[in-house]
Chain A
Amino acid sequence: MGFTVKELEKGVAVVRVEGRLNMTTAGGLRDLVASAVAEGNVRVVVDLAAVEFIDSSGLGALINGLKTARQAGGDLRIASPNDQVKLVLSLTNVEKVLPPYESVDVAYAND
């Protein structure tokens, strides 16, 4: 399990998550998004390409990050989930609030 953050362009941070995004790792993601936003990168993309599995706590961390980003006037978007993650997003209806983007590059293509 690990996180990497890189700045895509001014104001957009890409957080790449690897492994399982669950109750043990959710806190780390939450803190990471909070610090990215605090540093002024209010637009965040969470790259889920390397996430094998997500549970409700993982979803909770994403929603929490969304709140943090929105409160700073930005946004949090998710990109490249695998099939398990897509299924969870759809079963919980979270896709209504966090629709998955094809890739990191297109997440903010229209804004």
Chain B
Amino acid sequence: MYTGVGMSDGRNARDGAVRGTAHLVILRLVVVVTVILGVDYLAWRWFFSLNWDAWWIAVPLVLAETYSLVDVALFGLTMWRSRSRPAAAPAQQGLTVDVFITTYDESVDLVMNTARAARDIRYPHSTWILDDGARNEMAAAAAQLGVGYVTRGAAWDDRPLHAKAGNLNNALMSTEGEFLLVLDADQVPDPRILDRTLGYFADEKVALVKTPQLFGNVSPGDPLGSQAPLFYGPIQQGKDGWNSAFFCGSNAILRREALMNLGITGYVTEVERAVIAALRGARRVLKRAAKTVPNDNEVMRQALVEVSAAVEAARAGVAANESLSAVTYTLQQRIAEVSRSMVAIDMHLLARDLVAIGEMRAHADGAWDVVTDIESTVDMLASRELSPLGAMESVQTLLRSIDVDRPDEAQPVMPLATISVTEDMATSMRLHEMGWKSVYHHETLAEGLAPESLDAMLKQRLRWAQGTMQVMIRENPLVQRRLSVAQRLMYFSTMWSYLSGFAAVVYFAAPIIFLCVGILPVHTTAGEFFLRFLPFMIANQLLFVVAGHGISTWRGQQFSLALFPIWIKATTSAIANVFFGRPLPFIVTPKNRGDIGPQWRLIVPQIVVACVLVLAAAVGVVRLVSGIGEPVGTVVNLVWVAFDLLILSVLVQAARYRGYNS
């Protein structure tokens, strides 16, 4: 999982791991100094130096700066408790473990490479390939290797698949290990992965142990910013300090009981919500349906009256706190009776005619036995699908939903959260809400494959960002009462970092505006500005240096601004999805490189911004030389443009990257 500052060049996850008490003291000191200087700077910016005459750029700029201060403060809070954990106790013997390898469209060779390593994990376990592509050749390869193979059953037909979360939920129902290790198809595990991590589960409240995600196919300099040594290091360690280390899709060991516990309570909550909502909407739907029944269809009119009465009785039952089970069972039985009697009336009318016809024909052919089968025919026709009530689709759908079996889902119990395309974060947050603990174990115990093209990398980042924004909108951590204040802020911090796209636009626009038309959003003297701004800026950079403890954070800072179109798109599409129901496809990160050659078309907005920055710099110089431009302002803004271009330059090597080959 990426956070704004989480990416850097490729180093091993053990870098920056061993940090003593002295380091933590210095780190906390720098955090305090940075936040104090930041608050001082922003207070001055808001109350003493805002150029209200140019509010249209001045206000966005001060908002962007406020955004950045909050970002740094949240980073500081994360770092406050960032330290190495003592090693776990040795793994208890005799635990049962399932190792899950999730795949959708990765090649058989790639999956088998992972499966072979998974099978060879030292601690006793069962290995399973969870193939959402349901490929015969994968099943055959799994059988040959001697590992389990799981695909979705018929229950999933015509129902939401919920991508990877659904794949895992499906497998949870057909396996029985106390613990599960989840691996992406490309994450080749170390044989010691379970020995090193199971010990943490001696604490019965521990639900999750997360280990780092590293990639073996990254070229020197990490042109696509694949490795996240700051995230899988100081940041997760810091979150761990606040009991909020979270699950990021792969390389994590989970306690089945915790997941099932989550699934069970989620099921009850969901059923209660759905039944109450359906009962509430029932009156309206039934009234509307009644209007569409022709006047002469007395049978249907009567049926709707009876169904309405049954629904009213159910409403009263729920209001009187009767069990949902009894209320819905009575209602469903009542509906079945109504259906049955409707069919019976129809059939008896029909039978009367048939008997008459039969009598007429009896004289000619003898036997006629339709009538004797009437009872079984009624039963058959009164079944849910064939009932005359079924003809009224809205009524049928509504009535079907007033039940406790979640008819719209393949499984009633969904242990992994399905509210987001990043099921991992949502699931961790719910586990923390239920009082479970998580652990971040800082040791590389699996090695994966990173995207090898800009295209694939952008798709991956977009999905992470979209998923995170979905969770933020649907289950805002700030208002989750069962999380501690620190836990809320830890989750919020990751989400907040994805809003950086909007700030980036302002940081690009402000110098362009000054250099071209001479409008300065800050109303101050040069001396005053430097006195306020520089100390904060220096402290800010110092914080990253101290927190990184030898890990370079520059690459991460570059990508967090340079990928601004992705972050903006993630935010807007997540909003469109949550509020307007627009679909958000689960994008499977392509594991192989697609086309060859620079992919400039993928970064058109950034290229445009870079060109405008260069033009603006030229205009600024011309204005300065011709005596129109104000000297200090021009110099500051030229430096700013240079900084922006340096940020964007990270994309040049990313677009030209031709994949890893060594």
Tell which of B211-219, B235-243, B403-411 binds the partner.
B403-411
Give me the 6 closest cross-chain CB pairs, A-B, nearest first.
A56-B260, A67-B405, A70-B405, A99-B323, A93-B268, A56-B261
Tell which of A3-11, A19-27, A79-87 binds the partner.
A19-27
Q: How far is the CA of A94 from the CA of B261 in the complex (A)?
A: 11
In A1-44, which residues have CB < 8 Å from any B CB? 23-24, 26-27, 30
Determine whether A50 belongs to the interface, using a CB cutoff of 8 Å to chain B.
no
Q: How far is the CA of A66 from the CA of B405 in the complex (A)?
A: 7
Q: B272 contacts which chain A residues (CB < 8 A)?
A: 96
Q: B359 contacts which chain A residues (CB < 8 A)?
A: none
Determine whether A64 belongs to the interface, using a CB cutoff of 8 Å to chain B.
yes
Interchain CB contact under 8 A, A24 and B176: yes
Given contacts A23-B178, A94-B264, whether A55 and B326 have CB atoms under 8 Å apart is no
In A72-107, which residues have CB < 8 Å from any B CB? 73, 75, 77, 92-99
Q: How far is the CA of A81 from the CA of B413 in the complex (A)?
A: 21
Tally of A-B Cβ pairs under 8 angstroms: 87
Q: A26 contacts which chain B residues (CB < 8 A)?
A: 176
Name B260's closest neighbour in chain A (CB-CB).
Answer: A56
B169-209 CB contact bits vs A (8 Å, 1 = yes)?
00001101110000000000000000000000000000000
Name A96's closest neighbour in chain B (CB-CB).
Answer: B324
Query: A55-B257, A60-B263, A97-B404 given. 17 additional CB < 8 A pairs?
Result: A23-B177, A27-B176, A59-B264, A60-B173, A63-B412, A64-B413, A66-B412, A70-B332, A70-B404, A71-B405, A92-B264, A92-B268, A93-B268, A97-B268, A97-B271, A97-B323, A99-B326
Interchain CB contact under 8 A, B336 and A73: yes
Q: How far is the CA of A56 from the CA of B173 in the complex (A)?
A: 12
B233-267 CB contact bits vs A (8 Å, 1 = yes)?
00000000000000000000000110011011101
Q: A77 contacts which chain B residues (CB < 8 A)?
A: 325
Q: How far is the CA of A20 from the CA of B599 in the complex (A)?
A: 59
Interchain CB contact under 8 A, B329 and A75: yes
Q: How far is the CB of B413 from chain A (nearest CB, A)?
A: 5
Given contacts A23-B178, A60-B263, whether A98 and B257 have CB atoms under 8 Å apart is no
Q: How far is the CB of A100 from chain B (nearest CB, A)?
A: 10
Interchain CB contact under 8 A, A57 and B412: no
Interchain CB contact under 8 A, B178 and A92: no
Q: How far is the CB of B11 from chain A (nearest CB, A)?
A: 40
Q: A92 contacts which chain B residues (CB < 8 A)?
A: 261, 264-265, 268
Q: How far is the CA of A23 from the CA of B258 in the complex (A)?
A: 12
Q: How far is the CB of A102 from chain B (nearest CB, A)?
A: 14
Given contacts A27-B176, A66-B405, whether A56 and B263 have CB atoms under 8 Å apart is yes
Q: How far is the CB of B207 from chain A (nearest CB, A)?
A: 12
Q: How far is the CA of A63 from the CA of B324 in the complex (A)?
A: 13
Q: A55 contacts which chain B residues (CB < 8 A)?
A: 257, 260
Q: How far is the CB of B16 from chain A (nearest CB, A)?
A: 38
Q: How far is the CA of A56 from the CA of B434 in the complex (A)?
A: 14
Q: B336 contacts which chain A residues (CB < 8 A)?
A: 73
Contact among B176, B177, B412 for A64, CB-based, below 8 A: B412
Q: A66 contacts which chain B residues (CB < 8 A)?
A: 325, 404-405, 412
Contact among A23, A67, A70 for B176, CB-based, below 8 A: A23
Chain A interfacial positions (CB closer than 8 Å to B):
23-24, 26-27, 30, 55-57, 59-60, 63-64, 66-67, 70-71, 73, 75, 77, 92-99, 111
Contact among B174, B256, B267, B329 for A63, CB-based, below 8 A: B267
Name B326's closest neighbour in chain A (CB-CB).
Answer: A99
Name B262's closest neighbour in chain A (CB-CB).
Answer: A56
B545-570 CB contact bits vs A (8 Å, 1 = yes)?
00000000000000000000000000
Contact among B176, B265, B268, B324 for A57, CB-based, below 8 A: B176
Q: A27 contacts which chain B residues (CB < 8 A)?
A: 174, 176
Interchain CB contact under 8 A, A57 and B257: yes
Q: How far is the CA of A34 from the CA of B444 in the complex (A)?
A: 44
Q: B260 contacts which chain A residues (CB < 8 A)?
A: 23, 55-57, 59-60
Q: How far is the CA of A71 from the CA of B411 in the complex (A)?
A: 12
Q: B264 contacts which chain A residues (CB < 8 A)?
A: 56, 59-60, 63, 92, 94
Interchain CB contact under 8 A, A96 and B323: yes
B50-72 CB contact bits vs A (8 Å, 1 = yes)?
00000000000000000000000
Q: How far is the CA of A66 from the CA of B324 in the complex (A)?
A: 13
Interchain CB contact under 8 A, A56 and B257: yes
Q: How far is the CA of A91 from the CA of B406 in the complex (A)?
A: 21
Q: How far is the CB of B579 from chain A (nearest CB, A)?
A: 29
Q: B413 contacts which chain A residues (CB < 8 A)?
A: 60, 63-64
Q: How far is the CB of A71 from chain B (nearest CB, A)?
A: 6
Q: A23 contacts which chain B residues (CB < 8 A)?
A: 176-178, 256-257, 260
Q: How far is the CA of A61 from the CA of B268 in the complex (A)?
A: 14
Q: How far is the CA of A56 from the CA of B257 in the complex (A)?
A: 6
Interchain CB contact under 8 A, A71 and B412: no
Interchain CB contact under 8 A, A93 and B265: yes
Q: B257 contacts which chain A residues (CB < 8 A)?
A: 23, 55-57
Q: B269 contacts which chain A residues (CB < 8 A)?
A: 93
Q: A56 contacts which chain B residues (CB < 8 A)?
A: 257, 260-261, 263-264
Contact among B263, B326, B333, B406 for A67, CB-based, below 8 A: B406
Q: How far is the CA of A71 from the CA of B271 in the complex (A)?
A: 15
Q: B384 contacts which chain A residues (CB < 8 A)?
A: 73
Interchain CB contact under 8 A, B268 and A67: no
Interchain CB contact under 8 A, A96 and B325: yes
Q: How far is the CB of B221 from chain A (nearest CB, A)?
A: 47
Q: A96 contacts which chain B residues (CB < 8 A)?
A: 268, 272, 323-325
Name A95's closest neighbour in chain B (CB-CB).
Answer: B323
Q: B268 contacts which chain A residues (CB < 8 A)?
A: 92-94, 96-97
Q: B325 contacts which chain A residues (CB < 8 A)?
A: 66, 75, 77, 96-99
Q: How far is the CA of A77 from the CA of B406 in the complex (A)?
A: 17
Q: B411 contacts which chain A residues (CB < 8 A)?
A: 64
Interchain CB contact under 8 A, B323 and A57: no
Interchain CB contact under 8 A, B407 and A71: yes
Q: How far is the CA of A30 from the CA of B257 in the complex (A)?
A: 17
Q: How far is the CA of A80 from the CA of B260 in the complex (A)?
A: 23
In B392-443, which residues have CB < 8 Å from any A CB? 403-407, 411-413
Q: How far is the CA of A59 from the CA of B412 in the complex (A)?
A: 11
Q: A99 contacts which chain B residues (CB < 8 A)?
A: 323, 325-326
B272-288 CB contact bits vs A (8 Å, 1 = yes)?
10000000000000000
Q: How far is the CA of A63 from the CA of B263 in the complex (A)?
A: 11
Q: How far is the CA of A71 from the CA of B268 in the complex (A)?
A: 18
Q: B383 contacts which chain A residues (CB < 8 A)?
A: 73
Name B321's closest neighbour in chain A (CB-CB).
Answer: A96
Q: B271 contacts which chain A residues (CB < 8 A)?
A: 97
Q: How far is the CB of B661 from chain A (nearest CB, A)?
A: 45
Q: How far is the CA of A23 from the CA of B96 in the complex (A)?
A: 10
Interchain CB contact under 8 A, A97 and B174: no
